[in-house]
A and B are shown apart, each in its own frame.
Chain A
């Protein structure tokens, strides 16, 4: 197998907090490992506070990881200085959630898209104009929008600018952090379609971060589910959606609403008790145990030992003391319902 484009090993990011009577460490990301192959789209799913955006920011080196290793095309970038990172910025780029605040309001759209090209010394003058024109064409924007400012564009058009900027230097890895969640439904569809087309044409790898399971199913090859700073399940997309094994993944899938009244109203649901515990003091052992519907069966082991992420076969990894191949009692959902 060829070398992965991105490899993340045991990534840890802790944020110290002081003041307001609180003192301690926010365990934002605690031991996350995954890799993304060439041309692969990996979805990173989780609810707010699960640490998915922190993973993205660490990968982009927008924040410095506490420990662990990040390799981009085999090169360890975990501790590189800003200066030595700069040439590598060609290889990875990011699309942000909010298309309003992630574009400089004082630059024209053409300047925004062209900036990575000139910073990296790839093109200037006429060549730059030509490349920017190509990029506008690629993301489906009219050429005259080059001379407009971001505030003159709609949300969907701005997100297209964000995509064009990210893809300007033909990166090997695109990190997309909730790129459509600020957009209207009809606009979301066109951006998701565009992202899928661009990926097929250009062949970049993608770390796609979202809270929306349906989007992941539409777009990604594999999915990693995060809970409280850790990956609890990692599997090929079709497998995760037809045979989710971790009790949290099962609960998450059962809670997502389906736009079909007959299906939606006949589905069974796993109700999770309580709230997500504070990342300042995550539970000992299995972090999901305080809300787990299977907890009575896994105790006391779940209190004492952190469950490792184990391969059940076929690349389906689960971090749970109870879930093993063939452990039917941990399947909480009716397979017929999951098939949709």
Chain B
């Protein structure tokens, strides 16, 4: 039974230069206690699709499709009802912890605001709970930190505060948008440990939006690869890394330097030629075709639909399969 079921989500933006198709018929489910990694490069629609679910996009966005959560469609319920879900049952953690926190308020008050608004706690009760939450995200000396301002905290600690705030109402789903991108590797490792721990202890389902394949390999159960607003591939994590089917996934995996690469000096990183297409007009074709070594007349004249190649492994490509040269 899935917790969240998104079907045919499309997001368009009206701009002066015409419509931009940011997300095109994106479907996805999230199960209980599941960690799903959403991977893609900038502009692939990974952040926009999840922000649109909680209506966090500006009014120029035209959203269609359905997103069933707990018996309601998040995309059509009135805002008053959405407020009972947003930040309470489904919480968001953003990439940049410095700009997401208000520099003028103590962190205890910022966490407390969530508690007082959503759960109606009193000021003293909110403060006590805020300290518990800081302890939960393993911030040392939480009773002292609660009275500090964001600038007094390091980057890793600020991200922990953001996670504490997101967890304040014990949400069912945590959507984390590039939560470790701005952080150093040793700090990143700690945040990933924390998210694993939250899933274990609180049973929270997590959507992790990232461009880092290493992060996905570390924590995700299932991976979705997005390209130009569409889902290119979806598979259980081990399956995806062992048997990537979409040429774009193959390309991404080959483009990252791996440990041990120095041993073989002749080994080059794989390049994906060309660039991400403009989203102004989505072609009636495979969006990856102009950059794809496997593209043929079919790829250029029809949009490949997702199909299942192994149990649970879906790919939107006319010519799926692992690359010969990638299997080294």
Which A residues contact B (CB, under 8 angstroms)? 47-48, 154, 156, 184-190, 192-193, 196, 211, 213-215, 217-218, 237-238, 241, 251-252, 255-265, 269, 271-272, 274-276, 339-340
Contacts and interface: CB of A to CB of B under 8 A. Distances in A.
B256 A259 contact: yes
Interface residues of B, number: 47
Interface string B294-323: 000000000000000000000000000000
A21 to B, nearest CB: 12
A258 B218 CA distance: 8
A262 B257 CA distance: 17
B262 interface: yes
Contact of A184 (B42, B156, B184, B259): B42
Contact of B257 (A218, A257, A261): A218
Closest 9 CB pairs of A and B: A257-B214, A340-B260, A189-B255, A47-B184, A189-B269, A218-B257, A186-B272, A340-B259, A259-B213
Is chain B's binding surface mostly helix, strand, loop or mixed?
helix
B102 to A, nearest CB: 19
A48 B184 contact: yes
B144 interface: no
Contacts, number: 127
A252 B302 CA distance: 47
Given A255-B185, A256-B185, A259-B217, A214 B261 contact: yes
Interface in B256-308: 256-263, 268-272, 275-276
B241 A261 contact: yes
A237 B218 CA distance: 25
Contact of B241 (A47, A185, A257, A259): A259
A49 to B, nearest CB: 9
A218 B269 contact: yes
A186 B261 contact: no
B258 A258 contact: yes
B262 A237 contact: yes
Contacts of B261: 214, 217-218
Contacts of A256: 185, 214, 259
B140 interface: yes
Contacts of B187: 47
B120 interface: no
B189 interface: yes
Contacts of A263: 217
A279 to B, nearest CB: 13
B238 interface: yes
Nearest to A217: B262
B186 A214 contact: no
B260 A271 contact: no
Contacts of B238: 261-262
